[in-house]
Amino acid sequence: MSEEIVSRVSNYLTPQVPFKAIAQGAEAVVFTTNVHPYLPAKDSNNKTYVIKYRPPKRYRHPSIDRSLTKHRTLSESRLLAKLFLIPGLKVPQLIACDAYNGYIWIEFLGEDLPNDAGFSNLKNFLWMFAPSDPYDPIVKETLIKVGEQIGLLHWNDYCHGDLTSSNIVLVREGPESWQPYLIDFGLGSTSNMVEDKGVDLYVLERAIVSTHSLFADTYKEWLMHGFCQVYKNNGAEGEKKLKEVLNRFQEVRMRGRKRSMIG
């Protein structure tokens, strides 16, 4: 991570606010801090918060860059706020948004867990079980829950846009129970188009195949079981919409195979 980005964040937060970089992507950098954006330090209760920052892109004209940063930061914040209100859907809670400067403050998942319990993204979770028992009942239960979360997202006509196994966080609820959360909605959108939902499913399928190829068929079956159940729980209308989504998913999959064959 460049010193320029760290300096920008430090100047924005002021020297009195400690922060630590935990991830960097093409679009944004993610930090943690124990200072609430609004509450005095004495009232923060030593909780941890996540700060997502979109730094300026030098390859864009400054006015265009500012406009894009504002639009994308605001869009992601609005989407998170709406998703948080959907019963059963698990996403981090939005705390604050500074769209003009490209900052979003959100809840830190797994805050109350001991250090050895923690949390994991789906990719690392599956790797954790791979050497011992990749078909452990805990893995099956967790993947079905992940499928249910995606089903709830799509049933309510929202799409993720970058649904990889790294953007699904698992928080431990007990010795043998994990709760999935969907994170990073920078490319998310409101959409009732089956094409967008099919692409979401295809992106996740490719992520599972690329990192867990030996067990991918079983993992995909468990994921789709949870996904389909959400639609089936909504009666005839759900069955009809599920058929449309699955048909488009197959079409998207076929197009992806043709592209990979052509090169």
Catalytic residue list: 162
Cα distance between residue 32 and residue 44, in whole Å:
14
| Distance between CA atoms of residues 229 and 243, nearest Å | 12
CA atoms of 192 and 207, how far apart (whole Å): 23
* 186 vs 75: CA distance, rounded Å: 8
**What whole-number distance in Å separates Cα of residue 153 and Cα of residue 163?**
11
| Dihedral pair phi/psi, residue 188, rounded to 5° | -75, 165
Pairwise CA distance, residues 20 & 217, whole Å: 38
* Separation of alpha carbons 166 and 189, rounded Å: 19
Residue burial 194-210, b: 16+ Cβ < 10 Å; e: rest:
bebbbbbbbbbbbbbee
**What distances in angstroms separate CA 129 from CA 93, 123, 142, 248, one per listed residue?**
29, 10, 12, 32
Q: Which residues contact 86 (CB under 8 A, 6 or more apart)?
A: 152, 156
